[in-house]
């Protein structure tokens, strides 16, 4: 299972929120590049970079932070937050993103998101399926849609999506543990097609939200998660970077 630390950006600074609520903002570091270099120094290869200003503004904002981290580290960065147009994608990839995550657009403009999957390929485009009570949430979690989470993921699986980041918003930033049952439910529901045959297009589920202790990581791996995003647990020293380095080395 891949270990993917998160850096969330507001006004160029590394922050964390609780349950996506912007009023709970806590600044952890004024310099995201410094944080990214710490991750890389501990053998971490991946980074989940979220443009929270972009999510609110509905277009890419903090691409300079992305460019700085991409040009000064070897981290493979998945970048999300407010990506709505081909121009946003072009800026993100030109700035050094290895992958981009589309969330709100996958709900509100399905044809565009399917077009991205076809144009850039499923290795470049991640489906952001963030949920509250198993309903997909959009616009930086400021809105709940009418989309049921699992049918939503299954529909995009049929369209070729492979990488799925699923955040249970009720867990995000709360340090109370992730939604093991929800992730198992998603993996069980996407393992086979409607006829009961093994799915040709197996999804790679990335768990996000609520990670609080190191012991939760092997449990997520056992369920079948392909990766896990860790945020506040690192910044609050609940999980040490040395622990993560050892985990990566011993895989």
Q: Is the pTM of this model over 0.75?
A: yes
Joined tokens for residue 182:
């929800």
The overall average pLDDT reported for the chain is 92
Which residue among the candidates 51, 53, 88, 130 is catalytic per the annotation?
A: 130
Give 4-49 pLDDT, tens digit per residue. Answer: 999 999 999 999 888 778 889 999 999 999 999 999 999 999 999 9
In Å, how far are 204, 205, 250 from 2, measured between CA atoms? 11, 11, 12
The residue ranges of DSSP E strands in the chain, in sequence order, are 2-10, 13-18, 21-29, 46-51, 76-80, 99-102, 125-128, 131-132, 135-138, 143-148, 163-167, 204-208, 227-230
> 197: pLDDT confidence band, cut at 50, 70 and 90?
confident
The residue ranges of DSSP E strands in 30-184, in sequence order, are 46-51, 76-80, 99-102, 125-128, 131-132, 135-138, 143-148, 163-167
Collect all residues with Cβ–Cβ distance below 8 Å to 152 and sequence separation of at least 6. Answer: 106, 107, 129, 136
Q: Would you say residue 142 has pLDDT above 60? A: no
Higher per-residue confidence, 143 vs 189: 189
Catalytic, 130? Answer: yes
First to last CA, the chain: 8
What count of Cα atoms within 13 Å lies in the side-chain half-sphere of residue 176?
10
> 199: pLDDT confidence band, cut at 50, 70 and 90?
confident
Which residue among the candidates 8, 53, 78, 88 is catalytic per the annotation?
A: 8
Catalytic, 78? Answer: no
> 143: pLDDT confidence band, cut at 50, 70 and 90?
low
């Amino acid at each position: 299972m891949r270990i993917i630390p998160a850096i969330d950006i507001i006004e160029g600074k590394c922050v964390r929120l609780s349950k996506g609520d912007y009023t709970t903002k806590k600044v952890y570091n004024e310099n995201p590049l410094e944080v990214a270099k710490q991750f890389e120094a501990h053998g971490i290869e991946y980074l989940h970079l979220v443009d929270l200003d972009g999510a609110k503004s509905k277009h890419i904002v903090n691409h300079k932070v992305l460019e700085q981290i991409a040009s000064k580290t070897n981290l493979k960065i998945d970048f999300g937050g407010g990506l709505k147009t081909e121009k946003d994608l072009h800026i993100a990839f030109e700035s050094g993103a290895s992958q981009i995550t589309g969330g709100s657009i996958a709900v509100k403009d399905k044809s565009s998101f399917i077009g991205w999957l076809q144009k850039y390929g499923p290795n470049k485009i991640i489906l952001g399926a963030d949920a509250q009570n198993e309903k997909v949430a959009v616009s930086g979690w400021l809105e709940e849609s009418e989309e049921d989470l699992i049918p939503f993921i299954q529909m995009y699986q049929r369209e070729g999506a492979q990488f799925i980041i699923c955040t249970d918003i009720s867990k995000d930033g709360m340090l109370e543990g992730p939604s093991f049952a929800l992730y198992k439910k998603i993996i069980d529901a996407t393992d086979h097609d409607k006829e009961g045959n093994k799915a040709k297009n197996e999804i790679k589920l990335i768990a996000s939200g609520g990670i609080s202790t190191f012991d939760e990581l092997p449990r997520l791996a056992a369920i079948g998660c392909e990766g896990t995003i860790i945020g506040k647990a690192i910044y609050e020293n609940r999980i040490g970077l040395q622990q993560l380095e050892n985990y990566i080395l011993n895989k």
